[in-house]
Amino acid sequence: MANTREWNFSTDGENSFKVVFEKNKLVSVNGGEAVKVAKLKSKDSNMLETVYDVDLGNGQIAKLCIRKKEATLVYDGKNVENGQKYEVTQIPKWAYVFVALYVVNFFLIIGGALGGAINMASAVISATIASNTKKNAAIRVISCIVIYVVVTALSLFFAATIADTLMN
């Protein structure tokens, strides 16, 4: 992500705004005081996308959305750069079952740094697949099941290998 991003846009044809996002942590509106974005975190945030509510100073809110290290400024449900509709990534409720299963894998099968890395990466991959609304829901669920089975099998293999090494 660039060190500084700037967006110039108008909300109603009369009110113009300049929002500056600096150093991946500070945001200012119309040259005002820079505020740490951590203080602006929105309830819309999730494990795939971080959302910050940026007060435009007139009672209106713009959303600074960061997904895959890309910052997008959204006002009134639209990307201010291109006017296209923008929706914050929504992770379906059923996907959290897989996240919970990976947590269980971490505690019951293989913990430590290796287990944490494998299970965290798998949880993020599953959440990403689950939130991809371009795919049929059945395909997304089956994909998450397949990933879970493969990761669990690999975790069991690594756990057995580590246990065997420690026993000898």
CA separation for the pair 97, 85 (Å, rounded): 29
* Phi-psi domain of 79 (left: phi exceeds 0; alpha: psi -120 through 50; beta: other): beta
pLDDT of residue 59: 84
State pLDDT tens for residues 103-140. 999 999 988 898 899 999 999 999 999 999 999 999 99
Let me know: does 106 contact 115? Beta carbons within 8 Å.
Answer: yes
Structure tokens at 31: 């040259």
pLDDT of residue 58: 79
pLDDT of residue 2: 58
Q: What is the pTM of this model?
A: 0.77
State pLDDT tens for residues 82-92. 999 999 889 99
Where helices occur in 15-136 by DSSP H, the ranges are: 95-108, 112-130
pLDDT of residue 40: 93
Query: In whole angstroms, how far apart are CA 90 and each of 67, 86, 157?
Result: 12, 12, 33
> Residue 72: helix, strand or coil by DSSP?
strand
Residues of the chain with pLDDT under 50: 1
